[in-house]
Every structure is written in C-alpha cells, then in structure tokens.
Amino acid sequence: MADRHKKIEPVAADAVRRATVAGKFYPDHPQLLRQHVQEMLAQAAVKPASAQLLAAIAPHAGYRYSGNVAAHTYARLRHQHVDTVIFIAPSHWERFPFISIFTGQSFRTPLGDLPVATTIAEQLLHKHDYFMSAWHGHRTEESRGEHAIEVQLPFLQVALPDCAIVPIVMGEQSWELCEALGLALAEMAAKTPFVMVASSDLSHYHEYHEARRIDAYFMQLLQTLDPPQVFEALHARVCEACGAGPIVAAMIAARELGADDAEILCYQNSGDTGGDYEAVVGYVSATLERMNGTGNS
C-alpha cells in the first residue's frame, strides 16, 4: 500500500484540467467544434432508449476517425434525464497501480468548463484503497497529455450542456481494479443517479476484414453481459480493447444495477473513415440498459 502512495500529486480542489488535444483530435475553434459535434449528433440515427441506460461505451480517437461512432452514444444519452456522467478511461501514457480520480473543479474544452461532481468524486475516494485523487492519467504535458476522456467532453457539452462529470482513469486494468471500481460505482449509483461511459477503442492495427472479425467477437461477448468472460477474452487477446478495464468495470456496475440488455448502436473501423485498410482501429458505440426499471434504485 505504501508503494501505491509514492510520488502522488493530489488534485487541488480549485484545479482546472485544460484541454491538451484540441486542434489535434478535434477542432480547437469553439464555433467550428460546436457545429461539427451538432452535425455528427444529428446524423446519428439513434432512437430514444426504451429502457434505463446505465452505462455506455464510446471510442476516443480523433473525430475524423471515430467521431461519428461516438456521436451515437451521446445521441442516445441526450434522451435520458442525466445530471452526472462518470467517465472511465485507460491511461495511454503512464502506468500506475491505482485508479486516479480527478477531484478538481472542472475540465476545460474550447466549449467551456465542465464542472466536476466533486461530492460524488470525494465519496468514491473513500470506497477503496485503490482509489486516489491524483494527476496521474489526467496530465496535460505535451508528452503525457491524456486524451481518452477529453475527446468525449464536447459531445457531452452539446448533448447535455448542464451535466457534471467525474473523470476516472485506470492506471492498470487488472480484474481486482475492475471489480473494486465496478462494485463501488454500483453501490453509489443505487443512491445517486448517474450514467457511466467507458472510453475505449477496439482492435488495433489489423487488416480491415480481420479487424471486423475480431471486433464482431467482442460485440458478441458484450451482449452476454458476463464481465468475467469479457475480461478473460480481452486478457487472452482473443479480442481487443485499449479500454478493457473501463469496459469491464462499467459492465460489473451495470450488472449489479440490473442491466439485462446490451445494444450495439454503431460499429466502424478507421478503414471506413480514413481509407487505409491495411492497419485499422475498431470503434463501437454501445449501451448497457435495464429493461425492467426506470429508476436508479
């Protein structure tokens, strides 16, 4: 436990996490960004959910590649009565043996600041020793700027402009961390309504048709709503997701809350949007829902 606390820089209560990939992954001009997101949301042919949406998956590549897929998640989400979204993301640039929760004031994008639901974030910190307030996974330095949550936020700002967030990054994606986070979120969601969004792409750098085969198997597994089975398949690399931990943690929480349906809203890979078919990345928009209830309790 002592090792886990070494060199951890806690997040100050008034901290604002600035945008680090604006102008790279998505437009940095506010008007152009808003217009682009509005167009993608309008093009997403998604019907309102007929059940209670508990959790979702959205990709996190540049908007040129995965923006249209991600838009399906938020087009579905905008029809829900949601005050808070819990974002769960992997860490692309650094490894750390805990779950990093941003407990500062807000995340900033070209569209403005999204407030952090600090009460929920602080309550979550006390649920397990694995959970820490830290800049790990939320850094903005050029060489370590994490994008997996940031690219989701303009969609949320347009779809649900009054929503607060809790940004969570998993420094490792072990079963122990997935289970700890999933069970803690389920316990809290039973009392405090929120929706979870797992940020993840799927297979990486396979040939176009091979990627579709691998990703189809993942989507088949997702619809079993069996977190251990999904974890084992991802761990064995039978299928792939860079956000395997976030997906499994969200699945565990959703199952604890009674999820009984997984819906695939949209699937594409970068060959569909970028034109290179030799080494593509897969993207999925999906939701985990509870058909037999309308409340979070």
Which residue segments constitute the domains of the chain, with CATH numbers given? 3-7+27-290 (3.40.830.10)
Q: What is the mean pLDDT of the chain?
A: 94
Is residue 142 pLDDT above 90, yes or no?
Answer: no
Closest by CA position to 285, among listed 115, 159, 117: 159
Is residue 198 pLDDT above 60, yes or no?
Answer: yes
Quick one: average pLDDT of 275-293?
A: 92
pLDDT of residue 144: 73
pLDDT of residue 294: 46
User: Cβ(124)–Cβ(157) under 8 Å?
Assistant: no
pLDDT of residue 295: 41
pLDDT of residue 296: 37
Please state the length of the chain.
297
Is residue 5 pLDDT above 90, yes or no?
Answer: no
pLDDT of residue 6: 53
Q: How many angstroms separate the CA atoms of 297 and 281, rounded?
A: 37
Name which of 126-135, 254-263, 286-295 the model is least confident about. Answer: 286-295
- pTM of the predicted protein model: 0.95
Quick one: average pLDDT of 38-61?
A: 94
pLDDT of residue 79: 87
pLDDT of residue 214: 99
Is residue 7 pLDDT above 90, yes or no?
Answer: no
Q: Which pLDDT tens digit goes with each residue over 231-251?
A: 999 999 999 999 999 999 999
Q: Which pLDDT tens digit goes with each residue over 19-34?
A: 999 999 999 999 999 9
Q: Which pLDDT tens digit goes with each residue over 112-131?
A: 999 999 999 999 999 999 99
Residues 6+ apart with CB under 8 A from 171: 91, 94, 95, 96, 97, 98, 99, 100, 136, 137
pLDDT of residue 1: 43
User: Cβ(223)–Cβ(262) under 8 Å?
Assistant: yes
Burial class from Cβ neighbours inside 10 Å (0-12, 13-18, 19+) for residue 94 reads middle
Is residue 297 pLDDT above 70, yes or no?
Answer: no
Q: How confident is the model at residue 2 (pLDDT cuts 50, 70, 90)?
A: very low
